[in-house]
Amino acid sequence: MEYVQARVTTLHGLADPLPTAPTGRAAVVVPMTERDCQGAAADRVLQTLERLDPARVVVPLRAAPERVASVHEWLSTYDLWLELLWCDGPRLAELLADAGLAGGRGKGRDVWLALGRAAESEFVVVHDADTTTYDESFVRRLLFPLANGHDFSKGYYARVEDRRLYGRLFRLFYVPLVRALVDAHPDPYLQYLDSFRYALAGEFAATAETARRIRTPRKWGLEVGTLGDAFDVAGFEGTAQVDLGTYEHDHRAVDGSAGLSEMSRSVGETLLRGVLEHGIDVDFETLSERYRTTAETLVEQYAMDAAFNDFHFDRDHERRQVTRYAAAVTEPTGSDDRLPAWEDAPITADAVFDAATSDLEDAIGPGTTSAPPIDAGGGE
């Protein structure tokens, strides 16, 4: 247990705190896919939110049309002011296309669609639905800095389960890449990115004003893209990171279309695009090798830490991952996939919600719409 401060305010869970926080003035965004719905982890999250009683819960749902009715029925069993925003309906797709916002689907896009609605509340909290250790302290801890003068807060935790070190994409890709960059360019932007104990955590909170000023990458670059804009909006002084204690959720394979290697490409492109956008002149010819050298040093440090705790640790497996991730250390060449900040968006949050609500009603079908307390067009 330690209490060292970083460049951003760091709040430690020294006494398992459950701080006073303005939950009744906050909207909680819980993105879900088909695989999350009706599972034990999502049920735990929603039951906990019932006890917290936030101003509203917004669930952006990525699911096939035939699954929407059953998800709606399941969500209606919770005693929450809950707004289901189906992200894959035809009216919403047409609205986005007409506004020039058509493009890839992913977690970031879903969260962006929900943020416009959620930012009608004073504070916004975003977190995942697959957390098996979720409890009411998470939302309270994330909100506490906002109630005490900060604009943005980020959760952190140790990814340790079954006597193994997880958090592989953060440990083996993000950290060594940012360190290789900051060693060559001690720029405040890179120092900010280097301040976070778990920069790829999906849990963050922001004031409504800050949430409306953040651009959102469409896919797995969501977390690092959010940090990049948080630097511009909140800066060191307006940012806090908060210890969320024990945190367990699903683990991904390295390979596959949704694996860590694919995620590293999205994270790397978003991270490096932000670096270039902030005027940092990166030597891409040497960056991949500098990343690998830094990562190899970290692998040895993790190995020592694992041995100290009598954990299982596979050096060769970790090194193979570093080799795979190195392919993502390249100069960004594609188009910028970030969605605009809501304060600059060519559509309104109400238009998004109205289109998604009409799509939802069509997907649910006649005779199945009576499912309070879900609000079909609500507000407080």
Q: How confident is the model at residue 121 (pLDDT cuts 50, 70, 90)?
A: very high
- pLDDT above 90: residue 206: yes
Q: How confident is the model at residue 335 (pLDDT cuts 50, 70, 90)?
A: confident
Q: Output b/e per residue, 36-57; b: 16+ Cβ within 10 A.
A: bbeeebbebbbebbeebebbbb
The model carries a pTM of: 0.93
- pLDDT above 60: residue 371: no
Asked if CATH classification 3.30.460.10 holds for the domain at 9-364, the reply, yes or no, is no
State which amino acid sits at residue 41.
A
Q: Which of 133, 155, 135 is nearest to 144 (CA)?
A: 155
- pLDDT above 80: residue 228: yes
DSSP 125: E
Segment among 234-238, 268-272, 292-296, 333-337 with least mean pLDDT:
333-337
Q: What is the pLDDT of residue 282?
A: 97
Give the number of other CB atoms < 10 A from CB of residue 333. Answer: 6
pLDDT (average), residues 61-70: 95
Specify whether the backbone of 74 is left (phi greater than 0), alpha (psi in -120 to 50) or beta: alpha
The share of the chain scoring above pLDDT 90, in percent, equals 82
- pLDDT above 60: residue 366: no
Across the chain, mean pLDDT equals 92
Tokens of 337: 């996939």
Q: What is the pLDDT of residue 251?
A: 56
Q: What is the pLDDT of residue 321?
A: 94
Residues 303, 163 contacting (CB under 8 angstroms): no
